[in-house]
Structure 1
Amino acid sequence: NVLEHKSVQKTTTAIGDLSAIQEVIAKKETPGKIEEIPFDEIQLNDILIINTGDKIPTDGIILSGDCLIDESMITGESMPVSKKVGDEVIGGTIITDGSIKIKASKIGDDTLLSQIIDLVKNAQNNKPNIQKLGDRVSAVFVPVVISISILTFFIGHYAFEIAVQDAFLRSIAVLVISCPCAMGLATPTAVMVGIGRAAKNGILIKGGDTLEKMATIKNIVFDKTGTLTTGKFEVSEFNIIEGDESEIKNIIYNIEQHSSHPIAKSLCTAFKAYNSSLELTDIKEEKGKSISAKINGDSYEIGSAKITNTEETHDLYVLKNNKLIATLNISDTLKSNTKEVLTQIKQKGYNITLLSGDKKLKCETIARSLAIDTVYSEQLPKDKIHKIQQIDAEFPTAMVGDGINDAPALAKATIGISLGNATQVAIQTADVVLLNNENLDQLPKALSVGKHTLLTIKQNLFWAFAYNLVAIPIAISGLLNPMWGALFMAFSDVIVIGNSIRLGYKKIF
């Protein structure tokens, strides 16, 4: 009961964590001064100032300035998003570079983060509770046994003219021998061992219901950023159109050192081996577009598709004197063994889906490399819930995610699975937490523990039933008095407990 109570509390904790994200101090611009106010005192159309490293206090529209914003916690998009005057910003996201002035366009319950909180609440409240297998069996077994006991007395005494005392003892023997102790132990003993086996392998499972539901899973839906991938960027493709490869990499390294953009840092890491000092002049950076500099009289510019008219689609372009000399593609690094883990899961008969808030092209690229057939990209939290509802309507579904934007879907799915380094909101909302952050090796183990725990519960119930099918007729016939019945009943408990303990040692993965 204590464990069950703790499990129920996770909803409240998750919502509390989400609410805490909103509790920031905002810098409000008023005539002649800037004052600091708490989140809940922000009024519609207030002018707020936000700088590098600050959390955006509420949804708004940029009035002045430009910046890069990490929106991955809300949208799932892996790369920071460039924002300029007129663009909308989301409360709770973080400015990684730049300073802006915004006008509050939504406050209180109208903000996107507040809507996510409501989605989590509704998903948890509408999530159906499964009735434990043991409870379903006992609901039928107990009334049947009581009926057999009563019939044993009346039929024995009135139909076969057995003495009242003898008929009564036979009736009591039926109740004693069929006392559902073994059935009562069938589920909790198996669950206790199953949760312990999972914990030894770095898998935290919240409650016995979760184990039983895990055994029914047919669909597994994955988030992308931070779940299948590390969230760190690497150069996946580098194409030279004109010039020497080493020289161009050195130029990129030297120019990007003057930018604080996360992609710039990744490029510097990737091309560090080609580093040799160059003299740069006239360095200029236009946020969300490009960075440029002059080297030995030549102008170089590195940026997005906005700096070129080519029909090719790449993440970055390198221009020398306005002429394209190289292209680069940047990708989010896959976690180690991800493809092997997904192949293993597929071989076990699970259907795999990718559900992400990231861009369509990036999601499809990842899906192709992992042989995932079903892909849903650019999905907001409310969209993820709708997709999970559709998939879950066909077969029981597990959602694997790690971000705030995944929390409503984790709550709505049959089983929510999160990672040890996920946001606290995702961890609190999930039913299962995989403590290994480096890869998904623990996922197949978690699924195996669920299946074998349910199998052990069914075996326990079978032994308890088989024992009663043999013992009850013997008790009815008068060959078994209540004292011996109590002894044999205890023996059935030992068999059930022994079978549950076996779950802790048998080879299941």
Structure 2
Amino acid sequence: MKLSNMWKFWISLILAIPMLLQMIMMPFHWMMPAYNWVAFITTTIIMLVAAAPYWKSAWAAFKHHNANMNTLVAVGTSVAYFYSLFAMVTGREVYFESAALVTVFVLLGDALEERMHNSASNALGKLLNLQVKEAEVLSDGQYIKVPLEKVQVGDLIRVRPGEKVPVDGVVTEGATNINESMVTGESMPVTKKAGDAVIGSTINADGMIIFRATKVGKDTALAQIVELVKKAQTSHAPIQNLTDKLSGIFVPAVLIAAISTYVIWFVFLGAPAVQAMLFAVSVIVIACPCALGLATPTALMVGTGRSAKMGVLIKNGQALEEVNMVKTVVFDKTGTITAGKPVVTDVIGDQTKVLQVAASLEESSEHPLANAVMAKVSDAKVAYPKARDFKNIEGKGVKAVVNGEKASIGSDKLLEDYQISNQMKTKMAQLQNDAKTVVLVGLSGKIIGLVAIQDTPKKTAAKAIAELRSRGLKTVMLTGDNQRVAQAIGKQVGIDQVIAGVLPNEKADHVKALQQSGKVAFVGDGINDAPALTVADVGIAMGSGTDIAIESGEIILIQNDLLGVVRALDISKKTFNRIKLNLFWAFIYNLIGIPISAGILVGIGLQLSPELAGLAMAFSSVSVVTSSLMLNKTKIAGDHDAQQVAA
């Protein structure tokens, strides 16, 4: 059975207790009976149980003509251990405690790192553990409970109030409110009805629904989220490559410094060989760059885990670092800045009368504008009569008879023979200037009203763009829509630059052009956005987008909320700054610690023994881990701490 670092630490600490007692009692001139043999046996066990992995790692690096962090641990403990063996045989003072306690304190740092890593992994694993074990599946006309692993795509599943949705699917019957906070971080329940998607492991609040399974097992949204975050937490940010290179230079430099320390003390200052050796070992131990190695991965792990809880999935460390350097954020329009669903914004005339006639004419139409009209009628709770003699005029609108009167709805071309007041003409021009599509409603030869329809911006679009601009970023909207409509939407949300009339295959070219002024992030959701998402320095895909867009993006906004872009920027900036802070303190620690360990302050009574150097080194690792964990407490734009998943 492979022991964890935490178990190794406790075993080693218990074995080291006799040596700790001896160190405490030494000023009182007390000597433990058979101390040398006790120290030899316990230290040997510690070396075999706990220090062996460091020696193996150092030996593997040496065979490839390299040196790593474990090289310093292996060399320091080996020198102290084998010298103590020689001293024991020749009747000299032994220093087994140096080898043993250095190993104990190095293990302390590794154990804390391991615990943090496991904690991050367990928090995600708990999400998967929240899945139900059974599902009520329709079989032979009856709903029966079957194990979750036996649910197949296409099965009809029933979920009662208070139960969890077993797998991903689409509602076929019923309506309810579902709490999706465990996946999206959004605390407000989401209304679901026939045709709406549901996510596995979310909680059905108050209604009974039947849905058809679309994704099961590892293909569910929750399973994919967990997998993405795991990959992000184990990935490398580019700055880690710099750290690895520095470590490759740093380790040989420390070994040279240790040898120089020994030579200076023994040859030039005339110190005893044992004292010179202890100074050299202290230099090796305190310089062990464990803190340097922890600086990047711990911050990366915490940062990506925090962002996932806030509805922002960052696929890898490179994306997190790149976002920090973005100068321009480019948005697609439809489905990204706007809802991608036309809605009625204005009804001119007698609202009830206009909506009654409009609904009678549009009831049987599948046109997106008709759907917008019917949604407005439903919200206004307007009752309407049935139309007859229905006639569709291609590209213009609809004619029919409503309550015995001829009625029409459509463009001005369809109703050009209808009478329209000057006031109505003026209002229509105003609405059109606002880039709204205006539908005319006619009855008995007169225009009785206007219905203005527009694909409106998402609720948080203007706020998100204002937040980005306040951070000094340039915002651009890239769309295939016409200039007038694009400019109107751009004005509503406060975008800096609007580029309209862009063909799908031209989006990537425009992104490349904008990259001449700095790194670019592109935010999109459609198939036509995939090339731009790939070309951009950072591709940000809306969670409601197409599979190809999500695959092309490096960051996914689960909640389809543009404030997620701001959150991604904030968590990236704070994580990257934390990495730099960690690296700074790791280097400063070594710059201060190495000269002290070499005995530069021994004249004023300040000297670090190897075991104290090991303890100091362990605390440097602890400080870096603590610094990274503080990312969980730092303030992020649009923070939903109260809504985060309980881990």
1:491 aligned onto 2:619: yes
1:425 paired residue number = 548
**1:346 pairs with 2:346:** no
- The answer to whether residue 397 in structure 2 is matched with residue 290 in structure 1 is yes
Between stretches 377-386 and 268-277, larger displacement belongs to 268-277
Choose the corresponding residue for 2:492, options 366, 369, 380.
Answer: 369
Deviation at 1:264, TM superposition (A): 1.0
- 1:193 and 2:302 aligned: yes
How many residues are paired up? 378
Please give the secondary structure, in 2, of the residue aligned with 1:427: helix
User: Partner of 2:482 in structure 1?
Assistant: 359
Question: Is 230-239 or 366-375 further displaced after alignment?
Answer: 230-239
Provide the secondary structure at the position in 1 that maps to 2:556.
strand
Report the structure, 1 or 2, having the larger helix content: 2
Structure 2 Cα separation of the partners of residues 508 and 221 of structure 1: 22
2:620 alignment partner AA: S
Q: Within 2, Cα distance between the matches of 1:483 and 1:274? A: 79
Q: Structure 1 CA distance, aligned partners of 2:586 and 2:467?
A: 35
Within 5 Å, give how 1:76-475 maps onto structure 2.
132-140=238-246, 142-144=248-250, 146-147=252-253, 149-150=255-256, 153=259, 157=263, 161=268, 173-239=282-348, 246-272=352-378, 273=380, 275=382, 277-278=384-385, 280-295=387-402, 299-304=406-411, 306-307=413-414, 313=432, 314-319=437-442, 326-437=449-560, 439-475=561-597
- Check 1:183–1:410 CA distance in 2 against 1; reply closer, same or farther (3 A cut): same
1:470 Cα deviation from its structure 2 partner = 0.4
Q: Residues of 1 paired with 2:324 and 2:315: CA distance?
A: 15
Alpha-carbon displacement from aligned partner over 1:177-196 (angstroms, at most 9, x marks no partner): 22221111000111111112
Give the superposition deviation at 1:341: 2.6
**Corresponding residue of 1:507:** 635
Cα offset, 1:318, TM superposition: 4.0
Deviation, structure 1 residue 147: 3.6
Shift of 1:491: 2.0
Sort the Cα spacing of 1:258 and 1:442 in 2 relative to 1 into closer, same or farther, 3 A.
same
Higher mean C-alpha displacement, 220-229 vs 458-467: 220-229
| Percent sequence identity over aligned pairs | 35
Q: Would the aligned equivalents of 1:356 and 1:378 in 2 still touch at CA under 8 Å?
A: yes
Name the stretch that deviates more: 297-306 or 328-337: 297-306
Q: Give the secondary structure class of the aligned counterpart of 1:225.
A: helix
Contact 1:183 1:461 survives alignment (8 Å)? yes
Greater CA deviation, 317-326 or 451-460?
317-326
Contact 2:261 2:598 in 1 (8 A): no
**2:236/2:317 contact within 8 Å kept:** no
Q: Say whether the 8 Å CA contact 2:328–2:520 is kept in structure 1.
A: yes
Return the offset for 1:173. Answer: 4.4
Q: Which amino acid aligns with 1:467?
A: Y
Tell me how far apart the structure 1 counterparts of residues 514 and 331 of structure 2 sit (CA, whole Å): 13
Cα distance in 2 for residues equivalent to 1:280 and 1:211: 57
Determine the structure 2 residue equivalent to 1:90: none
Which one-letter code corresponds to 1:502 in the other structure? M
Amino acid at match of 1:449: I
> Is contact 2:359–2:384 with CA below 8 Å preserved after alignment?
no
Structure having the higher Rg: 2
- Post-superposition Cα deviations, 1:62-88, rounded to whole Å, max 9, x if no partner, equal xxxxxxxxxxxxxxxxxxxxxxxxxxx
Structure 2 distance, partners of 1:274, 1:147, is 79
Matches of 2:587 and 2:462 in 1, distance apart?
43
> Is the contact between residue 238 and residue 328 of structure 1 (CA under 8 Å) also seen in structure 2?
yes
Deviation of 1:263 (Å): 1.0
Q: Deviation of residue 169 (structure 1)?
A: 6.2
Q: Give the Cα–Cα distance (whole angstroms) in 1 for the partners of residues 351 and 263 of structure 2.
A: 101
**Separation (CA, whole Å) in 1 of partners of 2:342 and 2:258:** 75
Cα distance between partner residues in 2 of 1:130 and 1:188: 7
| CA RMSD across the alignment | 3.4
Which segments of 5 or more consecutive residues in structure 1 lack a partner in the other structure?
1-128
Deviation at 1:453, TM superposition (A): 0.7
SS in structure 2 at match of 1:232: coil
Preserved contact between residue 146 and residue 175 of structure 1 (Cα < 8 Å)? no
Could you say what secondary structure the match of 2:341 adopts?
A: strand
Query: Per the alignment, do residues 225 and 154 of structure 1 end up closer, same or farther by CA in structure 2, a change over 3 Å counting?
Result: same
How far apart are the structure 2 equivalents of 1:171 and 1:182?
Answer: 20
- Counterpart CA distance in 2 for 1:176 and 1:197 is 34
